[in-house]
Structure 1
Amino acid sequence: MAPVRNAKVLFNQPLAGLPEPGKTTIYDTSNIIDLDMVPLNGGVLVKVLSISVEPLTAGLMMGPNKPASIPFPSYQEGQPTFSFGVGKVLRSENEGFQKGDYVVSPVLEHAEYTIPTDLNFLQKIVPEPGLPPSVYIGAAGMPGQTAFYGWKEYSKAKKGETLFVSTAAGPVGSMVLQLAKREGMKVIASAGTDEKVKLAKSLGADVAFNYKTTSIEEVLQKEGPIDVYWDNVSGSTLDAALGNAALHARFIGCGFISQLVDRTGNGVNMKNLANIVMRGINVSGFLANDAFLLEHWEKEFNDTIPKLLAKGELKYIEDRTMGLEHVTVGLAEVMAGKSMGKKIVVVSEE
């Protein structure tokens, strides 16, 4: 077979505000690859199918200003960007992988083809019948695991209690919403557009509102107090939740998109921090790759969630964009709150 193009997205300069194609990143189409002859040196050749666009990517683009809370190295200028992705093995010189295997990795290059340098990050998957491989970087992958692990470990949910979940139309928030309803909880959900509010309601939210046009405090005062708060944003939304928390409420923090978009803290006056003490609020923050959480919940997740998704008992939403060249635009949409569900960039349909 003749050599073919191997386009890549290269990191160009540290992020300032929202990412811009041609400035923050460069879409490079100059590379070619011989799929039959390229040396693998004991590794595997992967055709990239879909890649995940997520807020964490923005943190990796900040260079020396990367928040210390992000435990991954920044992107390197002139090198390919990367994120969670799913692909298909075209060739293998490693006994752990065979041609035709589907694989996922948290550090899959934003490229059309790649030879992963560290196979420890590469995981083989067998998609549940009826589930496209892309779901394994969404509801059946890291976002779903984030929701499931955090919920199981920290929510201590009880039937009849009240949950408030922010970014309820996102990949994590939408799963949390559904898990809470399966526990028999009342769910208050916030989202950034009327369309996303409709989505939250369709997933079972008892109360759903647009936080850009409706007062968070007024909704929580009316519909609370909150027994569990799932925080994807931090900032003023977190403060409003603290102000309307029940005694011994559980707050679960897994995201802080408001700080990635505006790291100055301007306009955020945290008035209710004392309630953590005064109301005995239990605050837990986590990452889905925590070894403790993996040990306790990974098997149950893998045994149950993909099957529930395939049966339609849990719903997933993919915001699919076609073409590797749109990765940076996709990230800007996520950061600006314009995506719906899990943002996926489809590199190849197989």
Structure 2
Amino acid sequence: MAPARNARVLFNEIPSGYPIPGKTTVYDDSQTIDIDGVPLNGGFLIKVLVLSIDPYLRGRMRDPSIKSYSIAYTIGAPLDNFGVGVVLRSESDELKVGDHVYGYYPFQEYVVYEDIAALRLARVLKNEEGLPWSVYVGVCGLPGHTVHHGWMEFAKQKEGDVVFVTTGAGPVGLQVISRAHYTFDSPRLLQDGTDVAFNYKKTIDVLMKEGPIDIMACACFIECGMISAYNNADDYAMKNLPLIFTKSLTLYDFTVMDFHHKYADQGG
């Protein structure tokens, strides 16, 4: 068989604001791979099927000297994140041809691994329900894990509690809505189980006239990200910080990997 294309998405330069495709990242299709003949050395060859593009990746597009909870991308190397791949060839006892594997993949079409430990956070997917593989980077992937872990650890909800979700238009917010309720526009959110929904881009004048949301005393905040600030050149200063103690507020913050091992047997 003739060599196959092994295209990649490479990290090209550190952005100062929003990432720009073709500048911050570049598509490179110059590499090829001999699918039938590439040495496996006791490992296995995987074809990457789907990849997760999550907001936290923006934080990895930084100077490596800046320390953070996630590893900085290397200029000239492929991006990487969670995804699903299928085993095309195997010399390993751990995986067989046809296995679909969830794990941490580079953004490229084919990858050879020496063993399953080299594929971080790997697990074989049974998918007895016949779901699209993209589901495993969505509701059954990082967004779903974020909702599940945060809700199980911190929600402490009871019947009658009001949950305000920002934003209900994203994969994490939609799953919080479905978990909080017992049943881009507001009618869709109402179908997904929201009691009250609004499109802030269309009704911002109402919010301005009505004033800020009055936070109830003893309210609980579960913070899993600050997406609206990820591309800002300057940090956003927190306003009304004294409300934390004057209203006895509770603030929880976490990253999904804080609880990965605790919920690993639940697909997390």
- Global fold match (TM > 0.5): yes
Aligned residues with identical type, % of pairs: 41
Deviation at 1:199, TM superposition (A): 2.7
Q: What is the CA distance between 1:41 and its match in structure 2?
A: 2.4
Question: Which of 190, 193, 206 pairs up with 1:201?
Answer: 190
Task: Report the Cα offset of residue 271 of structure 1.
Answer: 3.6
User: In 2, are the aligned partners of 1:43 and 1:119 still within 8 Å (CA)?
Assistant: no
- TM-score if structure 2 supplies the norm length? 0.89
How many angstroms apart in 2 are the aligned matches of 1:216 and 1:62? 37
**Counterpart of 1:246 in 2: which secondary structure?**
coil
Q: Deviations over 1:58-87 (max 9, x none)?
A: 111223486x4x412211111111111111
Residue equivalent to 2:102:
104
Structure 2 letter corresponding to 1:9: V
- Correspondence for 2:228: 258
1:286 aligns with 2:227: no
Distance 1:59 1:216, change over 3 A: farther
CA distance 1:250–1:294, change in 2 (3 Å): farther
Determine the C-alpha separation between the residues in 2 that align with 1:216 and 1:164: 19
Aligned AA (1:115): V
Change (3 A) 1:246 1:113: same
Number of equivalent positions: 264
Cα distance between partner residues in 2 of 1:108 and 1:41 = 19
- Mapped pair 1:248 → 2:218: yes
Residue type of the partner of 2:83?
A: G
The change in CA–CA distance for 1:113 and 1:138 in structure 2 (over 3 A counts) is: same
- The C-alpha deviation readout for 1:247-301, integer Å capped at 9, x for no partner, is 2211000011122121414xx664422111111111111111114x642x443x4
In structure 1, distance between residues paired with 2:120 and 2:237: 43
* 1:341 paired residue number: none
Q: Which runs of 5+ in 2 are unaligned?
A: none
Which residue type is aligned with residue 100 of structure 2? Answer: Y
Q: Deviations over 1:294-325 (max 9, x none)?
A: 42x443x449xxxxxxxxxxxxxxxxxxxxxx
Amino acid at match of 2:220: R
Per-residue deviation, residues 135-177 of structure 1 (Å, max 9, x unmatched)? 1111012211110110111011111110000021211111011
**Distance change in 2, residues 1:18/1:251 (3 Å):** same
Highest relative contact order (Cα 8 Å, sep 6+), 1 or 2? 1
Relative to total residues, which structure has the larger helix share, 1 or 2? Answer: 1
Q: Which of 259, 274, 278 in structure 1 is aligned with 2:242?
A: 274
Tell me, in whole angstroms, the C-alpha distance in 2 between the residues paired with 1:216 and 1:204.
25
Matches within 5 A, 1:145-294: 145-182=145-182, 195-215=184-204, 218=207, 244-265=214-235, 270-291=238-259, 294=261
- Normalized against structure 1, the TM-score is what? 0.69
Question: What secondary structure, in the 3-state scheme, does the structure 2 residue paired with 1:23 have?
Answer: coil
Q: Is contact 1:200–1:208 with CA below 8 Å preserved after alignment?
A: yes
The amino acid of 2:248's aligned partner reads: G
Contact 1:15 1:63 in 2 (8 A): no
For 1:119, the equivalent position in structure 2 comes to: 119
- 1:179-209 per-position Cα deviation (integer Å, ceiling 9, x unaligned): 0003x8xxxxxxxxxx243332221111111
User: Cα RMSD (Å) of the superposition?
Assistant: 2.5
Alignment partner, residue 6 of structure 1: 6
Shift in Å, 1:216: 9.5
The alpha-carbon distance between structure 1 residues 82 and 116, as it changes in their structure 2 partners (threshold 3 A), is farther
The one-character-per-residue Cα deviations of 1:221-261 (angstroms, maximum 9, x if unpaired) are: 79xxxxxxxxxxxxxxxxx5xx6222221100001112212
Query: Residues 15 and 43 (structure 1 numbering): CA distance in 2 closer, same or farther, change over 3 Å?
Result: farther
Q: Is the 8 A contact 1:16 1:62 kept in 2?
A: no
- Give me the whole-angstrom Cα distance separating, in 2, the residues matched to 1:217 and 1:147: 30
CA contact (8 A) 1:169 1:197 kept: no
Secondary structure in 2 matching 1:289:
helix
Aligned match of 1:192:
none
What letter is aligned with 2:187? K
Q: Is contact 2:7-2:28 (8 Å) kept?
A: yes
- Displacement over 6 Å in runs of 4+: none
8 Å contact 2:165–2:173 — kept in the other structure?
A: yes
Shift of 1:38: 0.9
Structure 1 unaligned residues grouped into runs of 5+: 185-194, 223-239, 304-350
- CA distance in 2: counterparts of 1:27 and 1:218, whole angstroms: 42
